[in-house]
Amino acid sequence: MDISTFVAAAAHDMKNSVSVIAAYLEDALAKMAAEPPSAAAQSTAQALYETQRVNGNLVQLMAIFKIEEGMYPFEPAEVELDEFVDELMIRARPLAALRGLTLTCDAQPGLQRWIFDRDLIGSVVIQSLFNAVRYAGHTVRLSLRASAGRLEIEVADDGPGFPAFMLEQGFASRQGIDLRTSSTGLGLYFSRLAAGLHRHGDATGSTRLGNGGELGGGRFILELP
């Protein structure tokens, strides 16, 4: 067995444990429900969302492994965008509320459905939302629009934006990940890989990072053909 097989097996095992921890935490939170939330409930909520971040990382790690081994069950299918967005908001909203942020969604009217792998793209966007929630000042916005046969999904915030080295490096290849910085680049690498699996005719999915825009902070943009 090579090392990556060990890593994948360990990631699988860790993910099972994380699922159980998350279930317990959520159960505990439900039992502590009160208005206003107690300090214990707030800490539990914080623990729950950190757990989900770990879960998200493990999901991405395992998916990368499977994609590279040709074992990922890639399933592009028609996705109802309103439902897709609803689920993302449901998952990100509690964390945003905990940090006192406004989470908004801005979808181009008339945009009904698009073809992509729901789980794969869902985990790209949710990690990006979690990330934005972490760095935002007051607002995080998810927007969807289509033009020239491409669907654009953008996660923007009003935080300090992505550091210069990340913008320069862009969506680094795995070899380029700088382990000295706190960012492993896992999320960005995964995003690029996931986007790249989506093809239609000659067109391919892509990702890009930027700063500024209407909210003035970081912008993560995923484009799907």
Partner 1 sequence: MKGNTSPEDLLRASDFLLVEDFEAMRSVLKGQLLRCGAHRVDTAKDGREAAGMLAAKTYGVVMCDYNLGAGKNGQQLLEEARLKGWINPATVWLMITAEKTSTMVSAAAEDAPDDYLLKPITETLLQARLLKLVERKASLAGIATAMKARDWRKALKLCEEQIAAGSKSLAELLRLQALLHQKLDDWAKAQAVYEGVLQRGPIAWAKLGLAQVRLHAGDLNTARALLQDTVREHPQYLEAYDELAGVLHTQGEGRQQIDILERAVNLSPNAAHRQSALGVAALEQGQHELAAKAFSKALKLSEHSAVENLEPFVGMARLHTEAGNPGEAQKLIATMSQRYDSHDAQLLAKAERVRALQALGDKAGAAKLAEDLVAQSADETSDHAADMAVRIAETLIEAQQGDEAARLLQHVTRNNYDDERLIQRSARAFDRLGLGASSGELVAAAKREATNAMKDGMERMADGDPQAALESLRGAKISMPRNARVLLNFAAVAMTVLQRHGRSATLETEVRNSIATALALKPGEPRAMDLLQQLDRWTAEG
- The residues of the shown chain that bind partner 1, judged by CB under 8 A, are 12, 15-16, 18-20, 22-24, 26-27, 30, 51-52, 55, 59, 62, 66, 70-78, 80, 83, 86-87, 90-91, 94, 113, 115, 119, 199-200
Q: How far is the CB of 194 from partner 1 (least distance, A)?
A: 13
Give the nearest distance from C-beta 48 to partner 1 in angstroms. 8
CA–CA separation, 119 vs 28, rounded Å? Answer: 27
Q: How far is C-alpha 71 from the geometric centre of its chain's CA atoms?
A: 21
Unique residue bearing structure tokens 């967005």:
85
SS3 223: strand
CB nearer to partner 1: pick between 83 and 214: 83
Query: Do the beta carbons of residue 125 and residue 116 sit within 8 Å?
Result: no
Between 51 and 131, CB nearer to partner 1: 51
Using alpha carbons, select from 98, 94, 92, 95 the residue that is nearest to residue 142.
92
> Which residue's CB is nearer to partner 1, number 54 or number 177?
54
Q: For 28, list phi and psi in degrees, rounded to 5.
A: -60, -45
CB nearer to partner 1: pick between 66 and 213:
66
CB of 27 to partner 1, least distance (A): 5
